[in-house]
Chains A and B, each alone.
Chain A
């Protein structure tokens, strides 16, 4: 592990040199410039995102049922069609609110992965609450999605505690610009929320391998709960994941967004949701500034005919050697086939 020079402060020039993207720069140069407001509903409503994914052949968790009206709530256990595991979530929820995961049930009693038991009446009440907008932003009425439960891929078994890690990819003008995986910890209570103590781990875009992590803004080498090293993990089906991100960004019509994937044991990478205001912590996880990547993409895109998505650009995008406290795994030219359509 690299030792840090202890300091509280750095100069703007230092940040500029490493190409760090600040909040003002992100909002003004990228969000305002690339993301038309009219397309925001495609991202804010997870059902719309799902439809776009399905239309473009990007894998998503299978939708078992959509509850749109309070009258449909009474049909709840029937709509499952005998499936044992499922997830209930609001279509317009934010920050993971209102999500209930069920691991097993006997038609009357439903068990969560944590071992809590819920009754049919509890879940019907939860569905009604979602419909009336309890969990949606601004309290608008909402729809409830009942969908397939994603099973954590065994590749992450040693570094995910109490939940499923998710993979965030920043896609700029159809080109993946930066990626990280967020590992849930005991402190974050299984949620992949960095504020609550999840670990952010940078991913090398070309290899799909992790290379060092950050917990609460400081670099760490091992998972705080399992002590398993978090560098060097390979994200399964990485090329397919990148291709999916590229495809979805053109489907959504947004120029700068973060796409969240989870890797299912059976399906591989599936899209969970997209985010129009992806956070900046990904730069700490990657120990690299985002602005330089985005500028490089701009240069690269200028040479190519304008179209929505260019998996080829991602492949040909010249990798910049990482600078920062982490040691980078060596890159080879053989891996430049990343981004080819699966």
Chain B
């Protein structure tokens, strides 16, 4: 058969293309000699905490590259957590995760950093555009930055006397904080205390500088980041940024760098000192480590972005990771569905309904998903049988069911809340629409083929859905697919091979079993 031949060649060439693509990618990731002056580092966040219940949130400020550094690859590992929508406060890139259960959690994030002292990855000339409100925020006092305290004002007056203009004042403040405040890691950490005692921690000195700047009506802020150097227990380092001539200019009173920082200063949080913070979490413990790693191929030869980066989904930001992994796992769900339908012969409502049900269960947790499934089925079938008497058209009929199911679910949630068991909102939302469709199909199939036949199909849908759920849960497989998306060439080959399969389905071996029985002689 002609089609069969073509399909065979397509399958073979897809497999070969898959092998070739994986080979190319492995080769492109192989290490190459380092370019002069550049270096590659890995910063690892290891955060552990305990959550008293589900729905607790942890916010992690993650580096987004600096003037001389860029993040070229990042990875995120955790279990029982859900990456939430990214919220960017000021310029900080903040990763937000929500717990899905109570208990202990661990989150590990890895950032591979390319440092290049001679390259500017970020254009310095882009002016910082501040609204009046933001500007006021950068001049305001704080519990640890006592702008209005007399100590700060007096000190400022003293420094102002020596400075002719604003730029000179900032320089004077920096000189003062760097030279005349003694570094003492056991000392105080608030601006007033540091200025009174003339000694303080590095954080205290930075706060003192911010307080003096703000008191002098110069917008200033703290920046927390990392000094990239070999360290198993790296500590976040705090420095100061001052708004001058429309640009944020960095000052490090601790190390004495002014107006520009060395390449290995990697900012993570702007206008704040916490890299990791959580609400309602206990035993929150964050550890950071920085190690030099061998540079991967071509990464260092490039300056900034390159079109071939498009082909590497692993270089995308970590907060998109979970959705991307889910997307890449979807074809595996389709493979599972195809196996069940064409090889096993299990009937389901709709072709990809099981995959969608599984997806909705991934978004919700499966207990809530099952509860919603049961509730929607009961409400839906009850209303559907009542609606049958009204004899409505297809789309309005389906919409009526959806409306009733939605309203009933809201009251069900309200009931649960009354007894103190509030489920997550998206746990309810996702399964609902898909399940409403199943109700209609179930009802029609009951009408046409009887209850037992439609229960068989429902059972088939749930079974295939459960298998898809386990596939979509496969974080390890998903991460592998993210690094080697060309693995899906093999999925395509498998699907095409299945598409040409003309043999018996597994259930047909049962269905037609009588045909294979030899005729017994009648006596």
Within 8 A of A (CB), among B319-334: none
Counting CB contacts under 8 A, is B52 at the interface?
Answer: no
Known: A9-B509, A23-B505. A134 touches B391 (CB 8 A): yes
For A99, list chain B residues within 8 Å (CB).
Answer: none
Bound complex: CA of A72 vs CA of B240, how far in Å? 84
Bound complex: CA of A289 vs CA of B453, how far in Å? 24
Counting CB contacts under 8 A, is B419 at the interface?
Answer: no
Task: Render B1-44 as a binary contact track against A, CB cut-off 8 A, 1 for contact.
Answer: 00000000000000000000000000000000000000000000
Do the beta carbons of B517 and A325 come within 8 Å of each other?
A: yes
Bound complex: CA of A134 vs CA of B392, how far in Å? 7
Known: A195-B453, A324-B519. A219 touches B514 (CB 8 A): yes
Do the beta carbons of B515 and A15 come within 8 Å of each other?
A: yes
For A138, list chain B residues within 8 Å (CB).
Answer: 394
Do the beta carbons of A22 and B505 come within 8 Å of each other?
A: yes
Do the beta carbons of A25 and B502 come within 8 Å of each other?
A: yes
Residue of B nearest to A14 (CB): B516
Counting CB contacts under 8 A, is B132 at the interface?
Answer: no
Counting CB contacts under 8 A, is A24 at the interface?
Answer: yes
Which of B395, B501, B515 is the one whose CB lies under 8 Å from A324? B515
Counting CB contacts under 8 A, is B504 at the interface?
Answer: yes
Do the beta carbons of A133 and B393 come within 8 Å of each other?
A: yes
Counting CB contacts under 8 A, is B508 at the interface?
Answer: yes
Within 8 A of A (CB), among B428-479: 447-450, 453
Do the beta carbons of A10 and B516 come within 8 Å of each other?
A: yes
CB distance from B235 to the nearest CB of A (A): 63
For A287, list chain B residues within 8 Å (CB).
Answer: 514-515
Do the beta carbons of A7 and B517 come within 8 Å of each other?
A: yes
Task: Render B492-513 as a binary contact track against A, CB cut-off 8 A, 1 for contact.
Answer: 0000000011111100111111
Which of A23, A197, A325 is the one whose CB lies under 8 Å from B345? A23
Counting CB contacts under 8 A, is A2 at the interface?
Answer: yes
CB distance from A190 to the nearest CB of B (A): 14
For B511, list chain A residues within 8 Å (CB).
Answer: 217, 284
CB distance from B460 to the nearest CB of A (A): 14
Do the beta carbons of B509 and A11 come within 8 Å of each other?
A: yes
Counting CB contacts under 8 A, is A180 at the interface?
Answer: no
Which of B447, B501, B509, B512 is the one whose CB lies under 8 Å from A284? B512
A side interface size, CB within 8 A:
49
Counting CB contacts under 8 A, is B342 at the interface?
Answer: yes
Counting CB contacts under 8 A, is B262 at the interface?
Answer: no
Counting CB contacts under 8 A, is A283 at the interface?
Answer: yes
Counting CB contacts under 8 A, is A71 at the interface?
Answer: no
For B500, list chain A residues within 8 Å (CB).
Answer: 28
Do the beta carbons of A196 and B504 come within 8 Å of each other?
A: no
Do the beta carbons of A25 and B519 come within 8 Å of each other?
A: no
Bound complex: CA of A195 vs CA of B509, how far in Å? 19
Counting CB contacts under 8 A, is A132 at the interface?
Answer: yes
Which of B395, B512, B520 is the one whose CB lies under 8 Å from A283? B512
Do the beta carbons of A18 and B515 come within 8 Å of each other?
A: yes
Counting CB contacts under 8 A, is B91 at the interface?
Answer: no
Bound complex: CA of A330 vs CA of B332, how far in Å? 54
Known: A2-B522, A23-B508, A283-B512. A12 touches B503 (CB 8 A): yes
Which of B342, B509, B517, B519 is the one whose CB lies under 8 Å from A12? B509
Known: A4-B514, A15-B509, A129-B391. A20 touches B504 (CB 8 A): yes
Bound complex: CA of A134 vs CA of B394, how far in Å? 7
Task: Render A43-64 as a binary contact track against B, CB cut-off 8 A, 1 for contact.
Answer: 0000000000000000000000
Counting CB contacts under 8 A, is A39 at the interface?
Answer: no
Do the beta carbons of A139 and B505 come within 8 Å of each other?
A: no
Known: A10-B509, A22-B502, A196-B449. A325 touches B516 (CB 8 A): no
Counting CB contacts under 8 A, is A275 at the interface?
Answer: no
Which of A10, A132, A196, A327 is the one whose CB lies under 8 Å from B512? A10
Do the beta carbons of B502 and A29 come within 8 Å of each other?
A: yes
Counting CB contacts under 8 A, is A97 at the interface?
Answer: yes
CB distance from B16 to the nearest CB of A (A): 25
Do the beta carbons of A283 and B515 come within 8 Å of each other?
A: yes
Do the beta carbons of A289 and B503 come within 8 Å of each other?
A: no
For A5, list chain B residues within 8 Å (CB).
Answer: 517, 520
Do the beta carbons of A218 and B509 come within 8 Å of each other?
A: no
Residue of A nearest to B499 (CB): A28
CB distance from B172 to the nearest CB of A (A): 79
Bound complex: CA of A46 vs CA of B448, how far in Å? 19
CB distance from B185 to the nearest CB of A (A): 74
17 pairs, A vs B, C-beta closer than 8 Å: A10-B512, A11-B509, A15-B508, A18-B515, A23-B345, A23-B508, A24-B504, A24-B505, A29-B502, A125-B391, A132-B393, A133-B394, A196-B450, A287-B515, A323-B519, A324-B519, A325-B520
Closest 4 CB pairs of A and B: A14-B516, A139-B394, A195-B449, A10-B516
4 additional A-B pairs beyond A29-B502, A193-B449, beta carbons within 8 Å, are A10-B509, A20-B512, A23-B505, A28-B501
